[in-house]
């Protein structure tokens, strides 16, 4: 999210055309500003949000073409006659009289539009020479059946969010406008038909908010199906809740899919990462006989060991295959939880025991060449999954178990960076460039 300040003008009170900067257009819900999801069923995937944005942009475009002497006049009905004069009197949409900010407001089709003209320096508007325009589209959207509205406290930034923004999976945007991030946390403040009203005020963590939907958690509010808002146990910080939807659910499924890891040897690739850190803990909690984690530096080694790993392998400094076989007495590992199959598949097959499992949740390349002969001779089993598409029964089981572990304070959480929402671009860069070890979250409210 950036604020463009494309401002130029002729000085004084001339009739020169003024190009007014478009600041970040904000959408509010029920009197608050921020872009968020309206009920998909009743609003057809954010039609009201689109209308609000369109109205705000239209007002800005009108100001772009306004002459200086008519900058505070607005012809809202497009009949050639001004319907409104922007004022700095503390009335209507104006916040504070005499603060130098001229405001106007208008209600149409369920949207309350507020726009302001701010001189670039103190003094009269004419003397400023240039101005900045901001527009806010505020609307109220009801929840659909079996939906809840959540006031977002924290929004989680994951590698998949970065990949979606960068167009890694597809260059075609699925929606005209997208509010990113699938993970988040907050408090339910409204419920739709069919949802127990006792959920009002409930602290929750969210999953799949931006998966197949136009509006994720990088906003003040989000509306989504009630099951996607999972109660957060008392005593667990809301910031932690923003780390669960992708990292913790992925880790849980990777550890538990296709049978128990009890009394088995588990290798966690990237044991200090957002998913890997949880996977090491869960493998230990689920009774693994030995947990080995790969890492790339001493800081990550300490993190993986503190999470419960018996041993770590620095793949940048050590022979991964030899070290892993040494740690297992030459027998190899029963299960590998793999973050990058494209890079590691060869080594994985060398350290895997016969009939062992490689559980894959990530790859640095879309196409992966699997060495056929080593794989078939070991009768290796590959299990691929994406957390967004977990079966309902698998997800419910994971939610229940994570809830229990959270309530018992048996999970450690590693939040590497906490930034305000207006630094979302910086947060994406941190994740994209791998400059943090752990989760990155944005504080919304």
pLDDT for the residue 176:
79
- B/e letters for 92-102, b = 16+ CB within 10 Å, e = fewer, are ebbeeeeeebb
Contact 49, 40 (CB under 8 A): no
List, in order, residues 6 or more apart from 61 with CB less than 8 Å away.
Answer: none
Question: Per-residue pLDDT tens for 421-434?
Answer: 989 999 999 999 98
Surface-to-core class of residue 363, CB atoms within 10 Å of its CB (0-12 exposed, 13-18 middle, 19+ buried): middle
> Crossing angle, helix 159-166 and helix 424-432, to 10 degrees?
100
pLDDT for the residue 439:
95
Q: How far apart are CA 277 and CA 273, in angstroms?
A: 6
- β-strands 147-157, 221-225: how paired? antiparallel
pLDDT for the residue 76:
81
pLDDT for the residue 50:
67
Q: How far apart are CA 296 and CA 36, in angstroms?
A: 38
Note the pTM of the prediction, 2 decimals. Answer: 0.72
Residues of the chain with pLDDT under 70: 1-51, 92-95, 109-110, 120-129, 137-144
Question: Per-residue pLDDT tens for 290-305?
Answer: 999 999 999 999 999 9
pLDDT for the residue 408:
97
pLDDT for the residue 426:
93
Q: How far apart are CA 250 and CA 381, in angstroms?
A: 19
Question: Which DSSP symbol is given to 237?
Answer: -
pLDDT for the residue 243:
97
- β-strands 26-29, 131-139: how paired? parallel
Name the token pair of 285.
């909690």
List, in order, residues 6 or more apart from 54 with CB less than 8 Å away.
Answer: none
- β-strands 229-231, 26-29: how paired? unpaired
pLDDT for the residue 36:
35
Going along the chain from its start, the domains and CATH numbers come out as 21-139 (no CATH), 147-243+413-443 (3.90.180.10), 247-389 (3.90.180.10)
């Amino acid at each position: 999210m950036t604020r463009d300040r494309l401002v130029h003008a002729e000085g004084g009170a001339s009739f020169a055309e003024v190009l007014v900067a478009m600041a970040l257009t904000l959408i509010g819900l029920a009197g608050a500003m921020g872009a968020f999801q309206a009920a998909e069923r009743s609003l057809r995937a954010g039609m009201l949000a689109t209308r609000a944005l369109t109205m705000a942009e239209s007002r800005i475009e009108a100001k772009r073409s306004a002459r200086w002497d008519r900058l505070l006049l607005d012809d809202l009905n497009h009949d050639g006659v001004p319907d409104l004069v922007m004022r700095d009197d503390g009335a209507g949409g104006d916040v504070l009289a005499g603060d130098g900010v001229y405001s106007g407001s208008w209600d149409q089709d369920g949207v309350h539009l507020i726009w302001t003209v701010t001189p670039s320096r103190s003094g009269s508007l004419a003397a400023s020479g240039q101005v900045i325009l901001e527009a806010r589209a505020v609307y109220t959207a009801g929840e659909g059946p079996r939906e809840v509205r959540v006031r977002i406290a924290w929004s989680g930034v994951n590698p998949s969010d970065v990949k979606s923004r960068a167009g890694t999976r597809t260059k075609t945007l699925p929606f005209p406008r997208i509010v990113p991030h699938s993970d988040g946390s907050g408090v339910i403040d409204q419920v739709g038909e069919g949802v127990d009203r006792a959920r009002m005020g409930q602290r929750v963590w969210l999953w799949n908010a931006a998966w197949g939907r136009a509006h994720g958690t990088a906003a003040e509010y989000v509306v989504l199906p009630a099951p996607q808002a999972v109660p957060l146990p008392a005593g667990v910080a809301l910031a932690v809740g923003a780390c669960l939807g992708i990292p913790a659910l992925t880790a849980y499924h990777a550890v538990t899919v296709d049978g128990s890891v009890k009394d088995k040897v588990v290798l966690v690739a990237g044991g200090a990462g957002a998913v890997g850190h949880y996977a090491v803990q869960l493998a230990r909690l689920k009774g693994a006989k030995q947990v080995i984690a790969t890492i790339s530096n001493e800081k990550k080694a300490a993190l993986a060991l503190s999470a419960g790993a018996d041993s770590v392998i620095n793949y940048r400094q050590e022979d991964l295959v030899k070290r892993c076989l040494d740690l297992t007495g030459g027998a190899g590992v029963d299960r590998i939880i793999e973050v990058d199959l494209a890079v590691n598949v060869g080594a994985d097959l060398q350290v895997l025991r016969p009939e062992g499992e490689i559980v894959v949740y990530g790859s640095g390349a879309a196409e992966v060449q699997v060495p056929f002969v080593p794989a078939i001779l070991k009768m290796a089993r590959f299990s691929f999954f994406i957390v967004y598409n977990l079966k309902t029964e698998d997800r419910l089981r994971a939610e229940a178990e994570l809830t229990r572990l959270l309530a018992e304070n048996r999970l450690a959480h590693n939040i590497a960076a906490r930034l305000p929402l207006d630094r979302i671009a910086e947060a994406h860069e941190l994740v994209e460039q791998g400059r943090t070890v752990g989760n990155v979250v944005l504080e919304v409210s």
